[in-house]
Chains A and B, each alone.
Chain A
C-alpha cells in the first residue's frame, strides 16, 4: 500500500532489517518498482521503503535538498520546480510511482547527463541501514566534502545490494531561463559528426539525440544564447515534451516488442549498427537498441566500441547487466561480503552471484 503522507519510518525499516538479519532471510529492498526491469528479479519478501517519505530539509539558497528515500520523485521535482530549481541529471521516472531511493539505487540519468552529470555526481550524502543493522550517515549537505570514503556515491547505482538507502541529499541547480528544441533531418553518421562539431562551439546544447531520421537538439540557458543558437542551427521546432518522453521511454520507439538494450560507449565511438532499430542519445554516448540480435552480438558490438550493454527487457538476456570481467567481479564480491555479509539485501539483483 502506498503511503500518501510524510512520515519518518526509519525506526520501522531498521527493525525490519534487524529482524531479517536475525532470521537470516534476505529482503527485496524496493520503492515503486518502476526500475524493476533494469536488473534481475529478487526472490525474497519485500522491504518497502515507500512509507518513509517527505522532504527533510530544503534551503533553495544552499542548492541542496535532503529527502527521504520513499518520497515520490514527482513530488520532489514539483517542490524544486516551485522554487525554480531542478535535479539537473534529469532522472527517468518510467512510471508514476518512481521514488527518490529507487532513482539513486538504479543510478540512471536522463538526456542532460553528458552536459550536467549523472545521479552519482549530484549525490552529496545519504543515510543507509547497513548489513550490520546500523543506521549511518555518510557525506553531507555541503558542496565539497572529501572526509572519509565516498560511500554515498557508492550507493548510487548499487541497486540496493549494499544497504537500504533511507535518505539522500542532492545538489540541485536553477532551472534554465530559456529553452528551445530543434529537429534537423540528417543521417546518423552526419548527426554524430555534427554533435562532435557543435560540442567544440559555445552552443548551449543540453540534449542531443538521433531517432534514425533526424537529429533532435535541446538548447538551454539565457534567452540571448538560446535564440542565437536557434538561429545558427536552423531546423524545425520540436516540443520540449519530447525530452520527457525520451527520458521516460514513452516515445513510440520504446513500444517495440523486440528486446530493448542500452549500449553505453564513448560518444566518438558510437557502437556499430546492429540489426534492429536504434535511438542514439547523449550525443552518441548512449544507444537504445530494439533488436532480436542475441545478447552475445549486442555485447560484442558494445565492447568493441569500448563500452557495455544492459538489457531492459526481462527474460531476454541471462544477465540483464553487462557481465563483469573477473577483476571487477572480485571487487564487487568483496564489497558485498564486507558490507552485506549475511546477503540480506537484494541478493541476485545485479548478478546471480552477487
Chain B
C-alpha cells in the first residue's frame, strides 16, 4: 500500500491499521517514510488459502480509505493504475472525477490511451459504492472483480 497522511495523524493511522488488520484476520508490517507521512503497510497473506488474497485486497482498500478520512491520499508515490482505482471513488467526488475526465479529453479526445485506467468512470464508482465491503465481507464473493 502507499497512502500518505498528515504526519500528526501517524499514531492514529497506525492504530487504525492494527484494528482493521485484526478485523480482517491478517497481519500487517508497517514500513513508512515517517517524514513525509507516506505509509507502506505490507499485508501478509497466504495465497494458497482460499479467500485470503481477496481479504488482503479488501483490507488494503480499507487502509487507503482510512488515509483519505484523516486528510490524506490513497497514493503518494505509486500512482493509481488499476489496483487502487476503486479508492479514487472515495478520495474524489463525482464532479472532481468528471473534471479529471475533461482534462484527459483535452489531451486524448478519442479516448485511445489506456481507457479505464487511472481515473474511474462514474459508472464504476456507482458499482463500487453498491459493492462496498461491510465488516470484511463482500457481497457475492464468488463474482470476479474487475
Contacts and interface: CB of A to CB of B under 8 A. Distances in A.
Interface of A: 59, 61-62, 64, 130, 132, 134, 136-138, 140-149, 151, 154, 331, 334-335, 337-339
23 contacts: A59-B8, A62-B8, A136-B95, A136-B99, A138-B99, A142-B5, A142-B73, A143-B4, A143-B38, A143-B76, A144-B38, A144-B76, A146-B76, A146-B79, A146-B80, A147-B88, A147-B91, A148-B80, A148-B100, A151-B100, A335-B103, A335-B106, A339-B106
A277 B99 CA distance: 45
B77 to A, nearest CB: 6
B109 A148 contact: no
Contact of A140 (B73, B78, B109): B73
A339 B72 contact: no
A144 B4 contact: yes
A147 B75 contact: yes
B12 interface: no
**For the complex, would chain B's binding face be called helix, strand, loop or mixed by DSSP majority?**
mixed
B102 interface: yes
Contacts, number: 99
Contact of A146 (B77, B99, B103): B77
B103 A145 contact: no
B89 to A, nearest CB: 11
Interface residues of B, number: 37
Contacts of A140: 71-73
Contacts of B75: 145-147
Interface in B47-99: 71-80, 84, 88, 91-93, 95-96, 98-99
B32 to A, nearest CB: 11
Contacts of B74: 147
B73 A62 contact: no
Given A136-B95, A142-B37, A147 B103 contact: no
Contacts of B71: 140-142
A196 to B, nearest CB: 32
B73 A338 contact: no
A339 B8 contact: no
B117 interface: no
